[in-house]
Amino acid sequence: MFGCDAGEGVVLEEDPQVEEIVARVAALDIGKAELVCCVRVPHEGKPGRRLQEVATYSTMTRSLLAMSDHLRCLGVSRVEMEATSDYWKPVFYLLEAQGLDPWLVNAKDVKHLPGRPKTDKLDAVWLCKVAERQMIRPSFVPPPAVRQLRDVTRYRIDLVGARTAEKQRVEKLLEDAQIKLSVVASDIFGISGRQMMAALIGGQTNPKALAQLARGRLRAKLEALEEAFTGHFTDHHAFLLATMLARIDALDADLAALEAKIQEMIAPFAAAVDKLDEIPGVGATGAHIILAELLGPLRPWGQGISRPQERQRHHRARQPLPGPGPRGGRRGRQQDQHLPR
C-alpha cells in the first residue's frame, strides 16, 4: 500500500515505553537585574496538552519571593536555571530555602542541544521544554555548610595571593632605592628583615647600623649587608614602604582570623584532615582545601551535613534520555496555551 516491501515475518510492534515528562516544571533565564521565568503544566481539560506562562521578574528579594509563591501555587516540582556568572546563586539559594527543587544546569551541556533560540524569552521557553523531557542533568551544588567552608577557604587563597603581591611590591621598591637586601637575605620579611626595614622607615640610612640589626645566621653576612644597604633610600621610599608593610600586617591579621574560623568549621572532619595530611606535599592547608571542594560529592566524608535523599539522587544520578524531543513547527507552537491569570 505504501510502496514498501516488508520482509517476511517482520511485524511492527508497539513500544511499551512511555515518554517521561516532568508534569510541572519551570525554567529561568537569569540576568543581573531581572530574570525570565517560563512555567509549563498539564492542561486540565485537554489531556496531553500543556499550558505555558512566560513572565519577567526583578531579581530583588521581594520579587523573587513572589515568584516562588506563584510557583508553589502552580505545584511546580522542579525549577531549572543555567549557571550564568554568579547571578544564579541568590536565586538558587532563595528557591532552595523556600522549599522548591532548583536545578543548576551547566551552560555547556545546554549549548550543545540543537534548536536553541537567540532571545532571552524564547531561551527560557526552550530550556523549560528541554527540562520537562529530562534531556539535561543538574550540576552538583553543595549544601549550605559546605558552601560556607568553601567561601572561607577560597577567600583565604585570595588573601594569600594579595599578600604575596604586596611583598613583591616591597621588593621592587627596595630595588628602586638600590637596597639589595633580597640578594643577601633569603626572606626579607623575617625578624631581621622587618627590623631593618623599620629602621629605614625611621630615617636610619647608615649601612653599618642597618647591618648590625641582623639576627641568627644572617650575622655571618654583615659585610654583604653593608654593601646591600648602600643605596639612595629617600623619604618617598619610606612613605611607600611603611604603607606596604602596614598592608601586609593587616593581611596577616585577616589570615589569622580566617585560619581560626576554618579550624572551627573543619573540626567535625579532623580524622579526614589527618589522613590527607599524611600525603606528602598536601599539608593541613591543602587538606582543608581538598575537603572544602570535595566534601559534598564524597558522601562518607559528609557526616553531619544533612540533605534530602531525593535531592541527592537528582544531583548525582544520570537522567535517562527520552525519546522524541520538543515538537517544532507552527502546529507545535499552537498547542501551548497561556495560563489563566
**Long-range CB contacts (< 8 A, 24+ apart) of 199-204?**
200/233, 200/237, 200/238, 200/241, 201/238, 201/241, 201/242, 201/245, 203/238
Identify the three-state secondary structure at position 19. Answer: coil
- What is the Cα Rg of the chain in Å? 31
Whole-number average pLDDT of the chain: 81
Contact 185/203 with Cβ under 8 angstroms? no
What values do phi and psi take at 305, rounded to 5?
Answer: -115, 105
Place of cell 631581621: 192
Q: Alpha helix locations (H) across 202-282?
A: 207-211, 222-228, 235-266, 270-277
Mean pLDDT across the stretch 157-183?
Answer: 95
Task: Decide if pLDDT at 79 tops 50.
Answer: yes
| Least confident window among 66-70, 142-146, 301-305 | 301-305
* Per-residue pLDDT at 304: 42
**pLDDT-based confidence at residue 330 (cuts at 50, 70, 90):** very low
The rounded distance, in Å, linking the Cα atoms of 325 and 335 is 15
Across residues 283-289, what is the average pLDDT? 84
pLDDT tens track for 11-32: 767 656 556 678 899 999 888 8
| H helix runs in 74-221, sequence order | 88-97, 107-111, 120-132, 144-176, 181-184, 191-201, 207-211
Position 257: which residue type? Answer: A
* 322 has pLDDT over 50: no
C-alpha 229, offset from chain centre: 46
d(CA 54, CA 134): 20
pLDDT, tens digit, 9 for 90 and up, residues 104-149 = 887 766 666 666 655 555 778 878 888 888 777 887 888 888 888 8
The separation between CA 275 and the C-alpha centre of its own chain, rounded to angstroms, equals 26
Q: How far is CA 234 from CA 169, 199, 226, 244, in A?
A: 17, 13, 17, 15
Rounded to whole angstroms, the Cα distance separating 327 from 330 reads 9
Residue with grid cell 570535595, as numbered in its chain = 294
Q: Letter for the amino acid at 299?
A: R
User: Rounded to two decimals, what is the model's pTM?
Assistant: 0.70
Number of other residues whose CB lies within 10 A of the CB of residue 147? 14
> Could you tell me the three cell numbers for 68?
516562588
Q: What is the DSSP letter of 105?
A: E
Q: How far is CA 276 from the centre of its chain?
A: 23
- Most confident segment among 158-167, 269-278, 288-297: 158-167
> Is the predicted pLDDT of residue 45 greater than 70, yes or no?
yes
Which whole-number Å values give the CA distances from 146 to 115, 142, 225, 269, in the listed order?
Answer: 36, 6, 49, 12
Q: What is the pLDDT at residue 204?
A: 92
Residue partners of 338: CB distance under 8 A and separation at least 6 = 51, 52, 53
In this structure, of 8-17, 53-62, 232-241, 243-252, the range with the lowest mean pLDDT score is 8-17
> Beta partners for 25?
40, 78
Judge whether residue 160 has pLDDT over 90: yes
**Res. 214: pLDDT tops 70:** yes
Strand order in the sheet with 34-42: 102-105, 78-82, 25-30, 34-42, 50-58, 337-338
Query: Residue 280: its pLDDT value, please?
Result: 87
Q: Dihedral sign, CA of 297, 109, 105, 26?
A: negative
